[in-house]
Structure 1
């Protein structure tokens, strides 16, 4: 009588595939939901935590399955490989976040003027208790920004206020920010401010932005502030946003008038 050996299926490989595929779907669906304002930020952060745990377990089960699949010939090599790859793909953004948290300073509010930051009046009215409060930088935060981002400074242009404002609005028209203003100060007619709600590129975390223009007579001075609504660490996002906008403004004004920021822009 012939003996038949029953092939075994690795249960760890099966669970690796299940957890890897489910964490991938959950990550994509929740990310799209947050980007299109179908899921609020705080619940989304909880979902991201669950996604990370599921993906980590998916990778762990793939590691458990490897000896039985490789050495014992258990069925499940495809499940193990697929689960491991999906888990690694899901975990990559979390690893990148960890690296950026290490590489960038722990700031969530960046301004070109640390002594008198541009006011975030719209944010003061719209931020909820779950969001970061709108407060001036502490002396320690100001020192940290100065040390980490010495290039984040305002711009002085040899142009009248209205022409500089037109260039600012032209640059803003190329963003996907939600704009408020421009606002002219009743007690200070030489100051114009535009506020905006901006979002991170990948997962659309919100940040409040203020751009302030000061009429100095023959010149106009431009300051900018960007402040994250959630989290103690912006992962370098706010400084990058300020730098990019002001560089684009430099290019816009140079293309239109040939003018460059004056060297005494600070």
Structure 2
């Protein structure tokens, strides 16, 4: 802008106003991001319980939404009136969106999966119904509505072979094998109280398998059986929330069947996590069994 007053030639420029909300919005978004990371780390380390984590997550979400709305309003004012502070507002918008993304993903999963904290293969569910065991309402409703059910596996191999591969999958996933129950008779296991078990009907000592003499006893290196019931503790990658998984490996004739059930211990709505546990386990079991030379069970007589 230029002006002439008398013989004096004056020049100047307009003073641009600055957004007062851009920097606070960016700080709020950054604080929400840091708080979310800290809350997850504290929960994984056992510093806070799940109820506290939910409260912190709600606070993070509210703060991120507030920063997002403030940043959008600031960008609109920058566009229409040319105010300064557009960079800070854009930074606030970017950080707020990054914080909100996990919550948006949770919303998508909530819309895709039934409101349940359990999943199981169809054969496991049918067996529970026949046995009079209470079946998870969400999973049962999904099956009744023709939803995608989880199908167990059938292998042309012995139950002992499938059990061995299942143990490798569990170890590879980083899950914890809590207990294994087999149908081995009490006569076969009556002397298996220490490092030595028995083999056959005459009580021949059978050393417990181990890599070296100093290696700890593998209490799940069991004699071959036709029925294995595994209890496993599975945890997700992000929050390490525990799920109790039951795996049944049953030999019938020349085939072995595998069925599973997984139930969250801490939440009432798992966002499909237990279903993904089962799907991933079965996929890895398929890969492991593909490289196994089947040893078919010997026929009686």
TM class by shorter chain equals: 0.7 to 0.9
Instruction: Measure the CA separation in 2 of the matches of 1:187 and 1:30.
Output: 49
Counterpart residue number, 1:180: 178
Mind listing any 5+ residue stretches in structure 1 that lack a counterpart? 118-134, 260-266
2:63 to 36, 54, 58: 54
CA offset digits 1:31-68 (Å, max 9, x no partner): 22233433322211211111110100000111222243
Runs of 4+ with >4 A deviation: 1-8, 185-190
Report SS of the residue matched to 2:239: coil
TM-score scaled by structure 2?
Answer: 0.70
Q: Give the structure 2 partner of residue 201 of structure 1.
A: 237
From 163, 167, 170, give the equivalent of 1:165. Answer: 163
| Cross-structure match for 1:148 | 147
Q: In the aligned structure 1, how far is the partner of 2:134 from the partner of 2:94?
A: 45
Alpha-carbon separation, structure 1, partners of 2:19 and 2:229? 63
- Spell out the pairing of 1:220-259 with structure 2 (5 A cutoff): 220-257=256-293
Give the CA deviation at 1:186: 7.7
Q: Is the 8 A contact 2:156 2:294 kept in 1?
A: no
Q: Tell me which protein shows more strand as a share of its residues.
A: 2
> Structure 1, residues 200-223: CA drift from partner, whole Å, max 9, x if none?
233333322111222335332211
Instruction: Specify whether residues 184 and 257 from structure 1 end up closer, same or farther in structure 2 by C-alpha distance, changes over 3 A only.
Output: same
SS in 2 for 1:196: strand
RMSD: 2.8
Tell me the equivalent position of 1:263: none
What are the residue-to-residue correspondences of 1:1-80 with 2, within 5 Å? 8-80=17-89
Give the number of aligned pairs.
241
State the TM-score, normalizing by the size of structure 1.
0.79
Counterparts of 2:90 and 2:35, CA distance in 1: 20
Q: 1-side partners of 2:51 and 2:232: how far apart? A: 21
2:125 to 91, 114, 117: 114
SS for the counterpart of 2:258 is: strand
